[in-house]
Homo-oligomer: A and B are copies of this chain.
Amino acid sequence: MAATFFVNGSFVPEEQAQLHITDLGLLRAYGIFDFFRAMDGQPIFQEDHLDRFERSAELMGLTIPASREQLREIIAELIRLNPHALLGLKLVLTGGYSPDGFAPAETPNFFVIPKPFEFKSPDEGLHFMSVEHQRQLAEVKSLDYLLPIYLLRKQREIGADDVLYYENGLITESSRSNVFVVKGDTLITPAEGMLRGITRKHILQFAPQIMRVEERPVTLEETLQADELFTTGSTKRIVPVTKIDQKPIGTGQPGAVTRKLYELFLKYEQETI
């Protein structure tokens, strides 16, 4: 069945989901998005994602042309029109058609892309490539993925799956996910310089049941010395990271604490949504 998208107030067949090429998101990378999933028709942590989407818009001086209730209705309708067991929903808001090609327009462009997807396996370890970089406007989920896409060629050369950003010796995040270090009985994650992930937020809520949890500056050095390392996001939940720059983390295999937290997350997710 053909997909149905939402573009500037209308539900349209996928092939008609177009914008004029003068959109400020396209010409000047000025825009934000958020992404979450619906499972068996049920949006997962929808309110958290809408909170963040609204916050990103506010920080960027953009106005979402829909109330919270209207956003919920648009999403519910897209889920109804695109029936998939596992559906990703990407909400995008741009600076619109700028009169001078630089300053955001009064009216933004707003669209939602529904797309079926599959989870990454929680049993396979990812390989990260460390990169000295601080993402611009770290608290905004912006459209800027220039650097990690530019670095894809280098990642492929060394067999890395994603980048791990650090700045002044402190790690922040991966290109599309947060990171957590397991050391002894402690779970540690950076407190600043990264996007505040929704999966990250929920892990911080339930993890104290089983271990000590610290949100604080995390050095690249202690990350390399971790017992276990994992990455989190809405398309991943929790996925082990077993190598950085081709060096093994801990045993170089997915670890037991990561697995335990993954199982707790599945349970928490079912209870919470």
Copy number in the complex reads 2
Given contacts A137-B146, A145-B102, contact A26 B28 (CB under 8 A): no
Residues of chain B within 8 A of A17, CB atoms compared: 20-22
- Assess whether A145 is in contact with B29, with CB atoms less than 8 Å apart: yes
A182 within 8 A of B: no
- Give every chain B residue within 8 A of A7 (Cβ-Cβ): 21
Cβ proximity bits A1-44 to B, threshold 8 Å, 1 near / 0 not: 00001010000000101111111111111110100000000000
Within the assembled complex, what's the spacing in Å between the Cα atoms of A103 and B155?
12
Task: Choose from B22, B61, B90, B147 the contact partner of A136 (Cβ within 8 Å).
Answer: B147
**Main SS of the interface on chain A?**
mixed
Q: Say yes or no: A145 contacts B20, CB within 8 Å.
A: no
Contact residues of A between 21 and 80, Cβ < 8 Å to B: 21-31, 33, 60-61
Q: A236 in the interface, Cβ–Cβ < 8 Å? A: no
Of chain B, the residue at the smallest CB distance from A109 is B21
Query: Is A142 among interface residues, defined by CB-CB distance under 8 A?
Result: yes
Provide 24 A-B residue pairs closer than 8 Å at the C-beta atoms, listed in order of the A residue: A7-B21, A15-B20, A17-B21, A18-B18, A18-B20, A18-B21, A19-B21, A21-B113, A24-B149, A26-B31, A27-B33, A27-B143, A28-B143, A28-B145, A28-B146, A28-B149, A29-B29, A29-B143, A60-B150, A61-B150, A102-B145, A102-B152, A136-B147, A142-B146
